[in-house]
């Protein structure tokens, strides 16, 4: 699936003499809107946060994909990019931030530390060996730190995941 | 600011709030517990340990070639200079002579790191105080510096370019022209920084006469780097205890006697230009020759204690190693600049408004993993 297909409107436009109408599925159009305006939480613990800042800036510019609204509070965020090592003392805080985010919510594990502990895997007493011990993760990005291109790719991958989600149908099924 | 169980009102009517560990302007996971009377700060108590990764303990199980690379993750904005400190202490213990070419390249990359670090500080200081545009200006040049690192060291942020006795790889043939290109871009664009932030009256009013750190306090708290130099204290390690060829170079130690946040801002801005001056002296005179001195495959330090200090972008970094004659340190201790600079915040923030605490934090320029290590 190319980038153009992803951004294209998911539906058919039928033109009629008195205006026209759109034919689409509710899930498709909700996911299309949702995936193109993901608001990340401004959350950075260490080195990867700097590469995240580089992804924000003009050269890489993640606002091209609809990510530019960084929120300082978890209550307004859809996505948490865990950029940097999580240690035992920080783990409850991360869990709490995740719990405070409204559904549907997504997690990107950025960098080796968040995947497995990375350089701090052996001989350390304080590092959590992968954040998936604490919260569920949607996309993993390896690297120490990952390049901004890698982070962008992970976000596009997340968008694909959101597009294939059946969020509305699940809500109907529950009722 | 997360409000939680630990926020409460004291008997005297002071409101206690926790700033952090998740807060956009603490630049990481520092938690400051603030006692407020209305908006006035009565007391600040920093809580540490939210990014304690036990780097010192890990160093005890790594060889002398490996242990330095963990320090890239300490003060990640001066990663190269941290690595330099670790390499220098081993060279000092083994009394290895570093080739002149390696020294020159180390200094050039180190000063580029310093410029990049100050650029990021400039960007985030603007961001903290409400200006978004400086962020894009500064990152334009930082991105150019990062691409030089990328081409020559293979990594953008954590360079890991250092090995005891020299450097790992030789630089690329176009290194000199690329560095000159970036310096020209930096110098051509520097006036834009002054136009957008330095000359801004709102920004000046936020910083002037805020967060006074007197010279005596700076000495008492052990502050170093631009934070202490803005209080009139001469403490540049590159001048006082020259290392790795800095004694041959001409540059000024930037000192201001303003003592406030504005002075700290001015010192950092002037330091960037001094770093440019250092690189310009070296870039056309990189000597030919070896890039690394010969050392044994397994480095073993003689029994004893070794200490080496360097000037990172934030102050004095000291590496203290106790060796029992083995292949890895018996004990490794880092004297990190940010830890000492942080200890001054509770003192200087008292009596100011809570908004000024952001300005103080922005100009002291803390890197939290360097505090916790």
Q: What DSSP letter does each residue of B341-371 carry, written as one string?
A: HHHTHHHHHTTSBHHHHHHHHHHHT--HHHH
Place of tokens 């213990």: B93
Q: Which of residues 99-118 of A touch B (CB under 8 A)?
A: none
* A105 SS3 class: coil
Q: Counting Cβ atoms within 10 Å, is residue A10 exposed (0-12), middle (13-18) or buried (19+)?
A: middle
Lowest mean pLDDT among A160-169, B86-95, B243-252: A160-169
Q: Give the whole-number percent of chain B exceeding pLDDT 70.
A: 98
pLDDT reported for residue A18: 84
- Among B22, B69, B157, beta carbon nearest to A51: B157
Lowest mean pLDDT among A31-40, B23-32, B262-271: B23-32
CA triple B45-B355-B202, angle to 5 deg = 145
pLDDT reported for residue A30: 83
What average pLDDT does this structure show over A26-52? 85
Residue B220: which pLDDT band, with cuts at 50, 70 and 90? very high
pLDDT reported for residue B249: 87
Arithmetic mean of pLDDT over chain A = 85
A27 token code pair: 């899930």
What average pLDDT does this structure show over B239-261? 87
The yes-or-no verdict on residue B367 having pLDDT over 50 is yes
Q: Sign of the CA dihedral A157, A162, A166, A171?
A: positive
| Residues in contact with A2: Cβ distance below 8 Å, sequence separation at least 6, in sequence order | none
Considering only alpha carbons, which residue of chain B is nearest residue A71? B24
CA dihedral B160, B164, B166, B168 (to 10 degrees): -40
- Top pLDDT among B346 and A166 is at B346
Residue A6: which pLDDT band, with cuts at 50, 70 and 90? low
The yes-or-no verdict on residue A67 having pLDDT over 60 is yes
Q: Cβ of B24 and A49 within 8 Å?
A: no
B363 token code pair: 């100009």
* Residues B65-95 pLDDT 10s: 888 888 888 888 888 999 999 999 999 888 8
A-chain residues near B54 (CB < 8 A): 120, 123-127
pTM: 0.89
The yes-or-no verdict on residue B319 having pLDDT over 60 is yes
ipTM attached to this prediction: 0.84
* Residues B284-311 pLDDT 10s: 888 888 888 888 888 888 898 999 999 9
- Top pLDDT among B6 and B242 is at B242
Instruction: Give residue limits of the domains in chain B.
Output: 5-372
How far apart, in whole angstroms, are the C-alpha atoms of residue B75 and residue B55?
12
Place of tokens 């939290």: B368
User: Is the CB of A146 inside 8 Å of chain B's CB atoms?
Assistant: no
Q: Testing the interface with B: which of A42, A50, A91, A117 to mutate, by most B Cβ within 10 A?
A: A50
- Top pLDDT among A27 and B220 is at B220
B-chain residues near A147 (CB < 8 A): 156
Helix axes A167-174, A26-35, angle to 10 degrees: 130
The yes-or-no verdict on residue B20 having pLDDT over 70 is yes
pLDDT reported for residue B7: 62
The yes-or-no verdict on residue A70 having pLDDT over 80 is yes
* Residues A123-143 pLDDT 10s: 888 899 889 899 999 999 998
The yes-or-no verdict on residue A22 having pLDDT over 50 is yes
How far apart, in whole angstroms, are the C-alpha atoms of residue A83 and residue A68?
16
Hey, what CATH topology would domain B5-372 get? Cytochrome-c3 Hydrogenase; chain B (1.10.645)
B205 token code pair: 């009013």
What average pLDDT does this structure show over A156-172? 82
């Amino acid at each position: 699936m190319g980038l153009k297909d992803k951004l294209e409107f998911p539906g058919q436009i039928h033109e009629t003499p008195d205006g026209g109408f759109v034919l689409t599925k509710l899930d498709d159009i909700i996911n299309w809107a949702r995936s193109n305006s993901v608001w990340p939480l401004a959350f950075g613990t260490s080195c990867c946060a700097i590469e995240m800042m580089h992804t924000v800036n003009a050269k890489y510019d993640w606002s091209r994909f609809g990510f530019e609204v960084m929120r300082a509070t978890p209550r307004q965020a859809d996505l948490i990019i865990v950029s940097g090592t999580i240690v035992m003392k920080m783990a409850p805080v991360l869990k709490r931030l995740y719990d405070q985010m409204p559904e549907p919510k997504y997690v990107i594990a950025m960098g080796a530390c968040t995947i497995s502990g990375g350089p701090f895997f052996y001989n350390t007493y304080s590092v959590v060996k992968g954040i998936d011990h604490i919260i569920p993760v949607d996309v993993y990005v390896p690297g120490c730190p990952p390049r901004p291109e890698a982070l962008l790719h992970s976000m596009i991958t997340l968008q694909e995941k959101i597009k294939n989600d059946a969020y509305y149908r699940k809500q109907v099924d529950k009722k | 600011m997360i409000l939680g169980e630990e926020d409460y009102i004291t008997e005297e009517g002071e409101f206690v709030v926790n700033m952090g560990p998740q807060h956009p302007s603490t630049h990481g996971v520092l938690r400051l517990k603030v006692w407020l009377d209305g908006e006035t700060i009565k007391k600040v108590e920093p809580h540490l340990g939210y990014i304690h990764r036990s780097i010192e303990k890990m160093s005890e199980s790594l060889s002398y070639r490996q242990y330095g690379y963990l320090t890239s993750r300490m003060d990640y904005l001066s990663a190269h200079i941290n690595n330099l400190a670790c390499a220098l202490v081993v060279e000092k213990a083994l009394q290895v002579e570093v080739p002149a070419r390696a020294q020159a390249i180390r200094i050039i990359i180190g000063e580029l790191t310093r410029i990049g670090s100050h650029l990021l500080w400039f960007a985030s200081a603007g961001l903290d105080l409400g200006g978004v545009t400086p962020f894009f200006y500064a990152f334009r040049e930082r991105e150019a510096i990062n691409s030089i690192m990328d081409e020559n060291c293979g990594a953008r942020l954590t360079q890991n370019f250092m090995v005891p006795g020299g450097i790992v790889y030789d630089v690329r043939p176009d290194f000199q022209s690329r560095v000159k290109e970036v310096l020209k871009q930096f110098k051509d664009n520097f006036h834009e920084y002054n136009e957008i932030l330095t000359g801004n009256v709102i920004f000046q009013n936020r910083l002037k006469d805020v967060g006074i750190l007197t010279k005596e306090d700076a000495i008492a708290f052990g502050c170093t780097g631009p934070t202490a130099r803005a209080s009139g204290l001469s403490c540049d390690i590159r001048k006082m205890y020259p290392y790795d060829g800095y004694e041959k170079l001409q540059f000024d130690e930037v000192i201001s006697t303003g003592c406030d946040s504005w002075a700290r801002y001015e010192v950092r801005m002037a330091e960037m230009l001094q770093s440019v001056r250092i690189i310009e002296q070296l870039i056309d005179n990189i000597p030919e020759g070896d890039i690394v001195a010969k050392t044994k495959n397994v480095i073993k330090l003689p029994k004893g204690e070794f200490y080496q200090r360097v000037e990172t972008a934030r102050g004095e970094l000291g590496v203290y190693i106790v060796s029992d004659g083995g292949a890895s340190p018996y004990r490794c201790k880092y004297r990190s600049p940010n830890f000492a600079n942080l200890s001054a915040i509770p003192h200087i923030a008292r009596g100011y408004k809570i908004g000024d605490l952001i300005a103080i934090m922005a100009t002291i320029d803390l890197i939290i993993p360097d505090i916790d290590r």
